[in-house]
A = this chain, B = another copy of it.
């Protein structure tokens, strides 16, 4: 990935200071090229033994880089907005946009590593956490990110010496007092856990670089030069934004009958509709006011054919909900802050905090529907999206988010009738555009995409509910009923734990 950095391990202060100005100039130049290209972000993780100089890395970065384009992040205790959402939410919050750099002292590795060091029996969880990280970094890399991870290493003797020095200075004593790993006492445990971590998460697209940090001059030059080489090398690549390809995650056997099996003639008469709607609206309110729900949040995805009645269904769900607790998210064109991030970023941004409900009127599934069918992204992009979406939703359900996804299906004739009716009604004209008519021409392509999507991303914990929606009454009641059933099941499932 980058040329080896050749610096003598025993480099002295004079040689360091001689070489520093050029390194600074080169790094600033690289940073400006990065900013100009706006093709990819740089993610720099610095971790290491206590006393190895991890904290100094931040100070150092601020002296050699133009900090207007650098986000720094040091891991503090999570706020309740953070702890009330999936674990990775707080990191998504601070991802650098394309063209900029993020320096992480304390990162997604910190908590898993610390938990493992303090409890070495925590093997399975640790391995799983590292796998989650691998998938996260693969996604970032596939979205273009240049990821570098440094592990600063020092020997036990050197560590003892450094910690003693830190402890003797009032200005740095807190570093020793706040030490989560307990200094030299757990030196071996740290070494073991870090070794396992690096082995399990070292990849071509997100390599670990172990740096001997006994000599601070060597440490500084090595980190700086490695970073510089990596940026320069990436900038010189032809297609800067697509460094890795991820294996397709779409099922080998395409079962494209799921939509065909639907009985779109299902319907409900008005009085049954009224009665059942009221019953399930009532039931939903009851469920959401249960104490048990306080440990959860609710994510409702609405997808469907154009004019299938998503908006109307959502309104029947929200009709009697406390407006303080829900938010309906629709998605207009992405802002430039959103465009400069991985495609899932704008959805992460809208995840509800505990006890709250987020509706997604269209969602991250756009990637494998409209973007796939219309060719707005490459085949490699939408193919990897199935796995990324599964991972995204798994992170939600792991965190107690109740996820349910509705596909509202109508047939081609019903759609045509609704389009015509909309064109005739003044205020509904805005809901129908030439694009809607054009999309109809690709009916079969969309149907195939929907079948692949349902097959590849429907799980027990975040199921796809296919809703026969030719009859609006039937559709609305089915949405509310299955929603209540799913919430009930999830709240019961947690009974043993709470």
| B289 near A68: Cβ-Cβ < 8 Å | no
A69 CB within 8 Å of chain B: yes
Bitwise, A324-355 to B at CB < 8 A (1) or not (0) is: 11011011100111000000000000000100
Q: Please tell me if the beta carbons of A63 and B315 are within 8 angstroms of each other in the complex.
A: yes
Interface flag for A105 (CB, 8 Å): yes
Interface of chain A residues 299 through 335 with chain B (CB within 8 A) = 315, 318-320, 322-325, 327-328, 330-332, 335
Q: Which residue from chain B places its CB closest to the CB of A362 in the assembled complex?
A: B68
Inter-chain contact A58/B323, CB cutoff 8 Å: yes
B-side contacts of A32, CB under 8 Å: 430
Q: Is A55 an interface residue (CB 8 A)?
A: yes
Interface residues of A in 248-297 (CB under 8 A from B): 278, 281-282, 285-286, 289
Q: Contact check: which of B22, B59, B79 meets A80 at CB < 8 Å?
A: B79
Instruction: Tell me whether A282 and B170 are in contact in the complex, defined as CB-CB below 8 angstroms, given that A75-B324, A106-B324, A353-B79 are known contacts.
Output: yes
Query: A425 at interface (Cβ–Cβ under 8 A)?
Result: yes
Instruction: Report the minimal beta-carbon distance from A83 to chain B, rounded to whole angstroms.
Output: 10
Asked if A459 CB lies within 8 Å of chain B CBs, one says no
A66 CB-CB contact with B under 8 Å:
yes
The reply to whether B337 and A105 form a contact with Cβ atoms under 8 Å apart is no
B74 touches A323 (CB 8 A): yes
A174 within 8 Å of B (CB atoms) = yes
Query: Is A325 touching B426 in the complex (CB atoms < 8 A)?
Result: no
Report how far A315 CA is from B356 CA in the complex, Å. 41
Q: Across the two chains, which residue of chain B brings its CB closest to A32?
A: B430
Is there an interface contact between A282 and B79, defined as CB atoms closer than 8 Å?
Answer: no
Chain A window 87-121, contacts with chain B (Cβ cutoff 8 Å), 1 for yes, 0 for no: 00000000000000000011000000000000000
From residue A264, how far is it (CB to closest CB) to chain B in Å? 26
**How far does the alpha carbon of A74 sit from the alpha carbon of B325 in the complex, in Å?**
8
The reply to whether the CB of A171 lies closer than 8 angstroms to some CB of chain B is yes
Q: Does any Cβ of B come within 8 Å of A374's Cβ?
A: no
Instruction: Provide the A445-457 mask, 1 if CB < 8 A to any CB of B, else 0.
Output: 0000000000000
| Complex CA–CA separation, A81 to B83 (angstroms) | 12
Q: A463 within 8 Å of B by Cβ?
A: no
Decide yes or no whether A72 CB sits under 8 A from chain B. Answer: yes
B427 and A21 form a contact (CB under 8 A): yes
Given A62-B315, A105-B323, A320-B172, residue A427 in contact with residue B25 (CB < 8 A): yes
Contacts of A336 in B (CB 8 A): 335-337
Q: Give the docked Cα–Cα distance between A278 and B168 (Å).
A: 13
Whether A281 contacts B322 by the Cβ 8 Å rule is no
Residue A178 at the chain B interface, CB threshold 8 Å:
yes
Closest to A354 in B: B79
Interface pair B170/A285, CB less than 8 Å apart: yes
Asked if A389 CB lies within 8 Å of chain B CBs, one says no
Q: Which residues of B contact A80 (CB under 8 A)?
A: 79-81
Is A28 located at the chain interface by the 8 A CB criterion? yes
- Chain B residues closer than 8 Å to A324, beta-carbon distance: 74-76, 106
CA separation between A58 and B426, bound complex, in Å?
A: 22
Q: How far is the CB of A309 from chain B (nearest CB, A)?
A: 13
**A320 cross-chain contacts in B, Cβ below 8 A:** 171-172
> Is residue A24 contacting chain B, with contact meaning CB distance below 8 A?
yes
Residues of B within 8 A of A332 (CB): 68-69
Chain B residues whose CB sits within 8 angstroms of the CB of A361 once the complex forms? 67
Beta-carbon contact of B68 and A330 below 8 Å: yes
Whether A67 pairs with B328 at a CB distance below 8 angstroms is: yes
In the assembled complex, the CB of A288 is this many whole angstroms from the nearest CB of chain B, namely 9
Give chain B residues whose Cβ lies under 8 Å from the Cβ of A426: 21-22, 24-25
Q: A351–B430 Cα gap in the complex (Å)?
A: 40
Q: Which B residues are in CB contact (< 8 Å) with A64?
A: 427
Report B-chain residues with C-beta under 8 Å of the C-beta of A22.
Answer: 426
Bound together, the chains give a CA A319 to CA B332 distance in angstroms of 44
Chain B residues within an 8 Å CB radius of A430: 25, 28, 32, 66
8 further contact pairs, Cβ within 8 A, besides A67-B330, A171-B282: A24-B427, A28-B427, A76-B325, A79-B84, A81-B81, A170-B282, A171-B320, A335-B337
Nearest 3 A/B pairs, CB to CB:
A24-B427, A171-B320, A74-B323
A-B contact pairs, 11 of them (CB 8 A): A24-B427, A25-B427, A25-B430, A55-B323, A67-B330, A72-B327, A76-B325, A79-B84, A170-B285, A174-B289, A335-B337
